């Protein structure tokens, strides 16, 4: 029995040793670090890769993720400068940069960040009125981020940004704001409608004005063309008369020819509807001479 018990004891010891050896081999994954303590004191920080832990001496105190993390805090009651209590819930984006400080710098770091966020938010909103708070989210986000980042450096935490998720004013203020927004929309609608009607009337007036101008231009153009036609006709008549007189002067007409032309002109004048006829004195004398000659010829024939 003695050898069997000894063999079992040795086998048990070997199994325990293998378990201890296997359990002492640690593989640290990507974006994670292990904080290791040796006999209760900080021994080091293991990064990505394979590491060996001394059995019963070393222990992994904390596994810390280096990824950016998000904390969504419940709404916090905050009083504005004009004594309005509003509910604000925030979202904090943070990242652990120093695992040792994160492990030993603060107890319950998430609760510490939440409390610090609420305190900083109350300090900032307490200096702002409600209307300014509702329209200054970017300013509030920047101020909270700066304050938290500065305070959490000693905890090994980097606060990347803080976002105000919701700003919830009291119900009665929400009703008043909705009525104000409705009135503002109605006012803008009335302004747009009035501007549209004004623009329409202006366009109609401009159209009528342009139409009147075009009609006046058409009448003026017509009169100009008629006057130009009459002027050209008169010019042509005068030119024809001048050409005829020129030809007549070049032909050197006798007195008889001129007399004949005068009678022809007189005949044309007499063809009209005029009730009076003015005969030049030269034609009258010629006509009297012609009558006297005719009487003399008749008397000589009688004799």
- Establish how many alpha carbons lie within 13 A of residue 136's alpha carbon, considering only the half-sphere containing its beta carbon: 14
The predicted model gives 50-62 an average pLDDT of: 88
Render the burial of 42-56: b for 16+ CB within 10 Å, e for the rest.
ebebbeeeebebeee
- What is residue 276's predicted lDDT score, i.e. its pLDDT? 54
Per-residue pLDDT, averaged over 152-176, amounts to 87
Query: Residue 71's closest CA among 87, 96, 94?
Result: 94
C-alpha to C-alpha distances, 283 to 31, 193, 226, nearest whole angstrom: 135, 86, 39
Confidence of residue 273 (pLDDT cuts 50, 70, 90): low
pLDDT over 80 (residue 258): no
- Indicate if 55 and 73 belong to the same structural domain: no
The mean per-residue pLDDT over the stretch 138-161 comes to 91
Paired tokens of 99: 């695992």
85 and 156 fall within a common domain: yes
Looking at the structure, do residues 158 and 74 belong to the same domain, yes or no? yes
For residues 192 and 2, give the distance between their C-alpha atoms in angstroms, rounded to a whole number.
107
Predicted local distance difference test score (pLDDT) of residue 45: 93
**Are residues 73 and 48 both part of a single domain?**
no
User: Domain range holding 194?
Assistant: 185-266
245 located within any domain: yes
> How does pLDDT run across 211-235, given as a tens digit for each residue?
888 888 888 888 888 888 888 888 7
60-93 pLDDT, tens per residue? 999 999 999 999 888 888 988 888 888 998 999 9
Indicate whether 129 and 217 sit together in one domain: no
Based on the structure, what is the number of domains in the chain?
3
Domain boundary among 169, 193, 214: 169
Same domain, 55 and 131: no
Would 302 be classed as within a structural domain? no
Considering the chain, what is the average pLDDT of its residues?
80
SS3 label, residue 257: helix
Are 194 and 243 in a shared domain?
A: yes
CA distance 102 to 105: 5
CATH of the domain at 162: 3.30.479.30
- Tell whether 77 and 34 lie within a shared domain: no
């Amino acid at each position: 029995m003695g050898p069997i018990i000894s063999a079992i004891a040795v086998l048990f010891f070997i199994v325990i040793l293998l378990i201890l050896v296997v359990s002492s081999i640690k593989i640290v994954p990507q974006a994670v670090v292990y904080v290791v303590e040796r006999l209760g004191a900080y021994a080091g920080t293991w990064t990505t890769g394979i590491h060996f832990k001394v059995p019963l001496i070393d222990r992994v105190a904390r596994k810390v993720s280096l990824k950016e993390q998000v904390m969504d805090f419940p709404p916090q009651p905050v009083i504005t400068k004009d004594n309005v209590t509003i509910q604000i819930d925030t979202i904090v984006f943070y990242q652990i940069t120093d695992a040792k400080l994160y492990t030993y710098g603060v107890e319950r770091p998430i609760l510490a960040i939440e409390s610090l966020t609420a305190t900083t938010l109350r300090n900032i909103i307490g200096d702002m009125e409600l209307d300014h708070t509702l329209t200054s989210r970017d300013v509030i986000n920047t101020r909270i981020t700066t304050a938290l980042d500065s305070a959490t450096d000693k905890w090994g935490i980097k606060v990347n940004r803080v976002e105000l998720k919701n700003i919830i004013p009291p119900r009665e203020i929400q009703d008043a704001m909705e009525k104000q927004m409705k009135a503002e929309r109605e006012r803008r609608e009335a302004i747009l409608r009035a501007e549209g009607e004004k623009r329409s009337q202006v366009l109609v007036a401009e159209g009528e004005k342009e139409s009147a101008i075009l009609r006046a231009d058409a009448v003026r153009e017509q009169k100009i063309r008629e006057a130009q036609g009459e002027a050209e006709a008169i010019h042509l008549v005068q030119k024809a008369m001048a050409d005829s007189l020129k030809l007549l002067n070049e032909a050197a007409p006798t007195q008889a020819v001129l007399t004949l032309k005068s009678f022809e002109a007189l005949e044309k004048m007499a063809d009209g509807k005029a009730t009076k006829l003015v005969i030049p004195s030269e034609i009258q004398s010629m006509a009297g001479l012609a009558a006297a000659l005719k009487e003399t010829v008749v008397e000589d024939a009688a004799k």
